[in-house]
Amino acid sequence: MSRVFHRHLKASYPTAVAGDGPYLIDAAGKRYLDACGGAAVSCLGHSDPEVQAAISEQVKRMAYAHSSFFTSEPMEALADFLVDRAPQGIGSVYFVSGGSEAVEAALKMARQYFLEIGQPERTQVIARRQSYHGNTLGALATGGNAWRRRPFEPLLADTTHVSPCYAYRGQRADESAEAYGERLAVELEDTIERLGPRRVMAFVAEPVVGATLGAVPAVPGYFRRVREICDRHGILLILDEVMCGMGRTGSLFACEQEGVSPDLLTVAKGLGGGYQPIGATLASARIRDTIAEGTGFFQHGHTYIGHATACAAALAVQRAVEKRGLLEQVRARGEALRARLEQRFGDHPHVGDIRGRGLFLGLELVADRASKEPFDPDRRLNAAVKAAAMDQGLMCYPAGGTLDGRRGDHVLLAPPYIVEEDHLDEIVDKLDAALQQAL
Ligand code: PLP
């Protein structure tokens, strides 16, 4: 019996021993095409020589220096790289070790900002149902994934959740996309009015919802209206791009495609591409300067802030993405994969919707296409699809949450940006076989 406290204690896992571009290889030599980047993590694939060299060089020079004593060259260089390319207004970067930590830091920065400007009554967070912002208690309280929250509800801080922007299930048949977005904007503003605008600290949202809904972008104009509403009431906009950011949707930051700049922006997964655990909270110059000119100290921290080797790895990943023109490839291969999915599953009786952006695509699985009726949750279809795909040598991310408070199923595809056309064929063929096996 494994001594590892695995997350699934009744499952047995193959042992991953090697990576080869977009493939992982287990101890028996079986190859798995990583069609979901693990959890939208792997952007450069699993064996990039430039990143390997950057890590090894950094470890030889200096692996780590605690951030309360030193800054480091890789940390400074990575912050410069990100701020130079970040949405308007972003002025600095706080480095952490993953997505949940990035969200926690964003929440605390928001809180401290309002303390510094003399608005201590702003404590309320508004987020959206069917969202996921991480599993630590602050991030979990923010997220609206009912299943993940349920056992821990008594430990979670009070957060108000509004409707997600989820056209497949939320937009009415007689309603335009614009009217749908407007209805949600009105819901948000009504919620702010109800809570008391001067009590609200932040609105938190994923520009493209990942883990809970499976690659769902907002309708056009929604985020611009959200930005306007936040500005009108002095509320900070926190965009969580832990899953959809760092090029995954075809632009370095997903919010670029919405034409909005947040006050705080969280990234992780694709930042280090899995080569090292790293996340970041990008803060507006206004927030940073307010804290700098006030107490001058952000009252939050972890041991591995700005870990030099993690920063060196992330810098190498980001430079490689840029130098090799991989964002263009994300857009082109994303379109090609979507076209293949539509061709193969467009009329599939159990594929209700195919959606997403770039190499971040989702298929919603339904018992009945016409009525959008979900599968019986007791079937645990997600687990069955994942297992069948692994049998086929394909990794896809099976998640639930497409129904409010209940399960609902989808398959999330987020392959590395280096995938070639023949990998796309392999993804679609193996997914087809897995669905036939599982359904
Ligand atoms: N935020 C979003 C949008 C995510 O999708 C995730 C993870 O899936 C997180 C936060 C948490 O990131 P991590 O698992 O690195 O803590």
Reported as a single tens digit per residue, the pLDDT across 280-298 is 999 999 999 999 999 999 9
Portion of the chain with pLDDT greater than 90, in percent: 94
> If you compute the radius of gyration of the chain from its CA atoms, what whole number of angstroms results?
21
Output the pLDDT for position 1.
86
Phi-psi region of 85 (alpha: psi -120 to 50; beta: other; left: phi over 0): alpha
Output the pLDDT for position 11.
86
CATH number of the domain bearing residue 130: 3.40.640.10
Residue showing tokens 């300067």: 289
From 36, 95, 242, give the residue whose CB has the most ligand 1 atoms within 8 Å, as the site to mutate. 242
Residue 382 has pLDDT above 90, yes or no: no
Reported as a single tens digit per residue, the pLDDT across 235-266 is 999 999 999 999 999 999 999 999 999 999 99
ipTM of this predicted structure: 0.99
In a domain, 5, yes or no: no
Mean pLDDT over residues 96-102, rounded? Answer: 98
Structural tokens at position 320: 């490689």
Residues 351 and 378 in one domain: yes
Rounded to the nearest whole angstrom, what is the distance from the C-alpha of residue 436 to the centroid of ligand 1?
A: 30
Residues 42 and 56 in one domain: no
Confidence of residue 409 (pLDDT cuts 50, 70, 90): very high
Query: Atom 7 (ligand 1): residue with closest C-alpha?
Result: 134
Mean pLDDT over residues 57-85, rounded? Answer: 98
Output the pLDDT for position 142.
98
Output the pLDDT for position 398.
86
For the chain, give the mean pLDDT.
97
Residue showing tokens 């056209």: 167
Output the pLDDT for position 97.
98
From 97, 213, 269, give the residue whose CB has the most ligand 1 atoms within 8 Å, as the site to mutate. 269
Query: Atom 1 (ligand 1): residue with closest C-alpha?
Result: 133
CATH number of the domain bearing residue 34: 3.90.1150.10
Rounded to the nearest whole angstrom, what is the distance from the C-alpha of residue 38 to the centroid of ligand 1?
A: 12
Output the pLDDT for position 170.
97
Mean pLDDT over residues 331-354, rounded? Answer: 98
Q: What does the CA dihedral 399, 403, 409, 410 come to, rounded to 10 degrees? A: -70
Closest by Cα among 81, 138, 91 to 261? 91
Structural tokens at position 173: 């048949």
Who contacts 9 (Cβ-Cβ below 8 Å, separation ≥6)?
none
In a domain, 119, yes or no: yes
Residues 352 and 233 in one domain: no
Residues 217 and 197 in one domain: yes
Ligand 1 shell residues, CB under 6 Å: 39, 98-100, 103, 132-134, 206, 210-211, 240, 242-243, 268
Whether 436 contacts 365, CB under 8 Å: no
Residues 29 and 86 in one domain: no
Ligand 1, closest atom to CA 209? 3
Rounded to the nearest whole angstrom, what is the distance from the C-alpha of residue 176 to the centroid of ligand 1?
A: 31
Mean pLDDT over residues 407-426, rounded? Answer: 96
Which of 130-144, 260-274, 297-311, 378-392 bottoms out in mean pLDDT, i.e. has the lowest?
A: 378-392
In a domain, 182, yes or no: yes
Rounded to the nearest whole angstrom, what is the distance from the C-alpha of residue 150 to the centroid of ligand 1?
A: 18
Whether 348 contacts 202, CB under 8 Å: no
Query: In angstroms, rounded to a whole number, what is the distance separating the alpha carbons of residues 183 and 9?
Result: 44
Mean pLDDT over residues 185-207, rounded? Answer: 98
From 133, 209, 244, 412, give the residue whose CB has the most ligand 1 atoms within 8 Å, as the site to mutate. 133
Output the pLDDT for position 344.
98
Number of domains in the chain: 2
Where b means 16+ CB within 10 Å and e means fewer, 326-365 reads: bbebbbebbebbbebbeebbeebebbbbbbbbbbbbbbbb
Reported as a single tens digit per residue, the pLDDT across 144-154 is 999 899 999 99
Distance of CA 210 to the CA centre of its chain: 6
In a domain, 10, yes or no: no
Q: Which domain holds residue 130?
A: 52-323
Whether 241 contacts 252, CB under 8 Å: no
